[in-house]
Chains A and B, each alone.
Chain A
Amino acid sequence: GENVEQHPSTLSVQEGDSAVIKCTYSDSASNYFPWYKQELGKGPQLIIDIRSNVGEKKDQRIAVTLNKTAKHFSLHITETQPEDSAVYFCAASKNSGKLSFGAGTTVTVRA
């Protein structure tokens, strides 16, 4: 099955700085790579996703890049704000809701 590794497990950044989270996957047949944000006591919520026919996607302050050859993808958050503090999960699938998740990254934005 698919194995998704995520780094770092914790990340502390100064407000206004950038945050980068990296993930690798093992199954070259995976073609859908979403990122979820989970706030305390809530369920995960999709923030951005990318499919294997695209190398980069941006949505305001967040961006995701995908390197199919190396089988890794990354989340970039620019100009971080306190409300960006949460747990972030990367995931991979073969274009379905049967996602394989990374272990998560706890992001803390220091004011």
Chain B
Amino acid sequence: NAGVTQTPKFQVLKTGQSMTLQCAQDMNHNSMYWYRQDPGMGLRLIYYSASEGTTDKGEVPNGYNVSRLNKREFSLRLESAAPSQTSVYFCASSGRGTRGAYAGELFFGEGSRLTVL
């Protein structure tokens, strides 16, 4: 059981280049998230998708776009990368409990380390 799979694991970009981080989950979860992790700042929510077909901004959405391709896949795109986007990016998913409410656990991928020069 793979859980949450992110690709690529490492990427180096030049300022102004674009790229897409891919994420897929095999747990049949409704909700998916993109967080970024920076030293001394914990994890911050970039975008999330509560269910297939919906996406919403999180705390730090500027410079990013997302696509919820289907229930399994949620991609994060940097259209014009900037050095401030150097970070480790984590995709996560969560399901619902037996009564339909938030089940209370995020399942994270292993992260994608992005460096923008």
Contact = CB atoms under 8 A, between A and B. Distances in A.
Interface stretch (B13-21, B64-72, B73-81, B107-115): B107-115
Interface in A12-63: 32, 34, 36, 41-46, 49, 51
B111 A43 contact: yes
B104 A99 contact: no
B45 A98 contact: yes
Nearest to B6: A43
A89 interface: yes
B108 A45 contact: yes
Question: Chain B contact residues (Cβ within 8 angstroms of A): what range?
Answer: 20 to 34
A97 B106 contact: yes
A41 B45 contact: no
B60 to A, nearest CB: 11
A103 interface: yes
B97 to A, nearest CB: 10
Contacts of A101: 42-44
A103 B102 contact: no
A67 interface: no
A69 interface: no
A87 B102 CA distance: 25
Interface string B40-53: 11111100100000
Nearest to B93: A97
A36 B43 CA distance: 11
Interface string B88-117: 001010100000011011101111000000
Contacts of B105: 34, 46, 49
Given A98-B48, A101-B42, 8 more contacts: A36-B106, A41-B111, A42-B111, A44-B90, A44-B106, A89-B42, A95-B101, A100-B45
20 contacts: A34-B106, A36-B106, A41-B110, A41-B111, A43-B4, A43-B90, A44-B90, A44-B106, A44-B108, A45-B108, A95-B102, A97-B48, A97-B92, A97-B106, A98-B45, A99-B43, A99-B106, A101-B43, A103-B41, A104-B40
